[in-house]
Structure formats: structure tokens, C-alpha cells
Amino acid sequence: MIDKDFTPEEKKATLGLAGVFSLRMLGLFLVLPVLSIYASKFPEATSFLVGLAIGAYGLTQAFFQIPYGLLSDKYGRIPILLFSTIVFILGSFLAAYASYEQNIHLLIVGRFLQGMGAVSSVVIALIADLTREEIRTRAMATIGASIGMAFAFGMVLGPWIASHFGLGGVFVFTGILALISVPYILWGIPRPKQIIHHEDAEFTSSYLGTVLRDKNLLKMDFGMFTLHMGLTAMFTVSPIILSKFIDVSNIWKIYLVMFLVGLTIMVPSTIIAEKKGLIKEVKVIAIIILLLSFGLFAEFENSFVLSVLAVIIYFSGFMMLEPIMPSLMSKYAPKHLKGTASGVFNTAQFLGAFVGGAVAGFLMGISEKLVFLFLGVITVLWLLLVLTLDIPKKKA
């Protein structure tokens, strides 16, 4: 993503902030494949509390990401970025302590604190301050690519760390990753010459009503909510299903295959969607793939081979959708509304993560099959909304 059009200062800022953000996201992704397996064994744990622990960070992240961006306009990017990082570190170490003590309630508090360490809006604002408008999209894409890599490493490293050091070890490692970024935040990040509110990258409160009245943007928000609700729900229930057949130390092998297959499908599907102008068609196919995976899980949750197949199919659909969703959303938003539309879109994503964990945990206490039936119903509704989306107008 970084090319000769970037100045040395822009390159340094983009790569540095991508590193800070990816380290944070890696810490969050590390626990996804293993949290439900370990937390479900805590003395006072219930399925609902386990699901709440998985999704808790999404609720506070949804509430704090926009305010942090606005506060960074007033008090400066670096102070808010540093503050949120410290909060995340505290939340990580509290979650580690709770894991060693096997205290599910304290673990939930730690996860809420992790979510309070939201940095996405501040990082985006800082990138906007430090890059020219003509290369800003590529700088954002670099950060997006780094998050994808963090997800891949998280899926593989999380189970390995947990098998050697327990769930507490995963959270300690998460806290250490965030600590590593502190010196760079203090001394490495270039300071912008001036802090400017960028409407194309940041949330602007006066535009909120306009964004919320746009039917296409609302459909996109519901879609992002549903996609990440499904992701968190899947990582609430699928690790427990897989752990019935395979030791947790070997689960990473399944997730590695899952990621490689998903990546192989993602690249050509994204090219077809963007270059051939078939973004809506690719989206419909990907949602149908998600529905297929839910059906497989609901019918064959007691079969190891078919459960693994369901995980791989699910993630293939997810990887087809994840890169094109923000792209499609931006096509519906005029330039001056992009920052606000993106803020609402990201808030919907984080809320989806919270609801996915909490609802999946609650339903899992009744029947694992109910989780997939619930996801199927909501995803069918999403599919119907996608079919009614207007084709985005091409920019002149």
C-alpha cells in the first residue's frame, strides 16, 4: 500500500500508526478462539456470562470511539491516544488477574475496560492530520491490511499461548503488546503541525441526522452490525463445539486452514466486486455462504468433520464481506459525510460484537442449535435488505 507517492514523513506516520493499531487489534483477536473454552470452566461461569465476557469490549468500544475522536480535536491526538492505551493495558492485566483467579465477573470488568481503550477514531484523525488528502485513502488501506494480518496471527497464536500459559497468559501477552506501543506513541509518532477536524475522516455531530436518514447507509449499518454479531457469536460457540473433538492446543490448525482458505477466496472476490462493478452480487453470494455455514452447524454440530467444514465455510463468507463492506458504505456517502457515516458504521460494528457475544451466550445455555437458528434468521433479514440496496452512483 505504501508507494513512492508517500513522503518520508507520511510513510513513517502511516507505518507507525498501523503498527500501534495492529498490536492493539492482535491483542483483542488473540482471545477470540479460546476465551469461551477456558472461561466456561470458571466456578461461577454461566453460558451467558461467558458470552458477555467475549462481547463486553464491543459495548464500551462503541460508546467511546466517537467521543475519543472529538476529545482529540480539543485536547490533542497524542494525549487521548496515550490515555486510551493505558486504559486498555489496565483492562488487559485485570482480565489476566481475573483469569488466574477464575473470576468470571472480574473478567467481564476487564473486558469492558479493554473496550474503553478504543483508539480507532483517534488513529484515523491522526492519519488525516499527517497525510495529504490524495494519499489518505491508501494510508487508511494500509491500516486495514495490518488489521487483517493481526487477525490471522491472533487465530494461530491465541490457542498456542493459551495451551502453554492459560487464558491469563493470553491477556498478559495482550497487555505487553499494548505496552510496547507506548514508547512509540510518546516519542515516535510525528506531531501534526496543526490539529484540524477532517469531515472526510472524522465524525461531525451536525451531520448525524443526515446520515441516519439515508436508507442505504442505514442498511449498510445493519449489515455491519449483523456481520460482527455473527463473528462474535461464532467465536462464542464454535470453539466449545470444536473442543469436544480436539485439544485446545491443536485448534490453531483449524483456524489456520480457515484463514488460508478465506484469504484465497477474498482476493479474487474483492477484485470481482470492485473492478467488475459486481459488489452487490458478491455481497449476496457471501451472505448465502454464511447462511450455509449456520445450517451446517445447526444440523451437524456433533460431527467433527462437518463442524470444521462449517467453520471454514463461514470464514470464507466473512472474508468476502469484510473488505467490501466499508468500500460499499463509502460509495453511498458524499465526501463531507464520509467521516460521520464511517463513525456510525463502526459503532454498529462494535455493538454487533457485544450483542453477538451476549445473545450467543444466553442461547447456548438453552441449546447450541438455537445460536445458529438465531443467526440464520437475522442474516436472512440482512439478505433481504441487501437485495433492496440501490446501486451506488459512480463518482464523476
Q: Which domains does the chain have, with CATH numbers?
A: 1-202 (1.20.1250.20), 207-396 (1.20.1250.20)
Angle at 80 between CA 75 and CA 82, to 5 degrees: 135
Work out the average pLDDT over 179-205.
Answer: 87
**Contact 326/332 with Cβ under 8 angstroms?**
no
Q: Say what the pLDDT of residue 139 is.
A: 82
Confidence check: pLDDT of 110 > 90: yes
Out of 118-132, 137-151, 203-217, 268-282, pick the least confident: 137-151
**Structure confidence at residue 381 (pLDDT):** 97
Q: State the DSSP string of 44-104.
A: T--HHHHHHHHHHHHHHHHHHHHHHHHHHHHH-HHHHHHHHHHHHHHHHHHHHHHHHHT-H
**Residue 349 and residue 211 in contact, taking contact as beta carbons nearer than 8 Å:** no
Predicted local distance difference test score (pLDDT) of residue 1:
58
2 has a pLDDT exceeding 70: no
Asked if pLDDT for residue 271 goes beyond 70, the answer is yes
Contact 301, 241 (CB under 8 A): yes
pLDDT score of 249? 81
Report yes or no: 100 and 166 within 8 Å, Cβ to Cβ.
Answer: yes
The predicted structure's pLDDT at residue 146: 82
In this prediction the pTM is 0.93
Question: 275 Cβ partners below 8 Å, 6+ apart?
Answer: none
Calculate Rg over the CA atoms of the chain: 20
Confidence bin at 392 (pLDDT 50/70/90): confident
pLDDT tens-digit readout, 43-98: 999 999 999 999 999 999 999 999 999 999 989 999 999 999 999 999 999 999 99
Cell of 241: 463445539
362 pLDDT exceeds 50?
yes
Q: What mean pLDDT do residues 10-37 have?
A: 89
Please give the residue that has the higher pLDDT: either 374 or 327: 374
pLDDT tens by residue, 114-149: 999 888 888 888 888 888 878 877 888 788 878 878
Please compute the mean of the pLDDT values over residues 329-345 and round it to a whole number: 90
The rounded distance, in Å, linking the Cα atoms of 382 and 242 is 27
Residue 139 neighbours by CB distance under 10 Å? 26
Q: Which among 198, 195, 217, 181 is positioned nearest to 333, based on CA atoms?
A: 217
Q: Dihedrals φ, ψ of 192, to 5°?
A: -65, 145
Q: State the average pLDDT for the chain.
A: 90
Contact 344, 66 (CB under 8 A): no
Distance CA 305, CA 356 (A): 25
Taking the CA atoms of residue 25, residue 31, residue 36 and residue 39 in that order, the dihedral angle to the nearest 10 degrees is: -120
Q: Is the pLDDT of residue 193 over 70?
A: yes
Check: CB of residue 77 under 8 Å from CB of residue 13.
no
How large is the average pLDDT for residues 179-207? 88
pLDDT surpassing 50 at residue 287: yes
The answer to whether the CB of 356 falls within 8 A of the CB of 226 is no
Q: How far apart are CA 300 and CA 79, in angstroms?
A: 51
Are 237 and 32 in contact, with CB atoms under 8 Å apart? no
- The confidence band for 396, taking pLDDT boundaries of 50, 70 and 90, is very low
Mean pLDDT score, 171-194: 90
Are the C-beta atoms of residues 359 and 51 closer than 8 Å to each other?
A: yes
What is the model's pLDDT at position 147? 83
* C-alpha dihedral (342, 348, 349, 352), degrees to nearest 10: 180
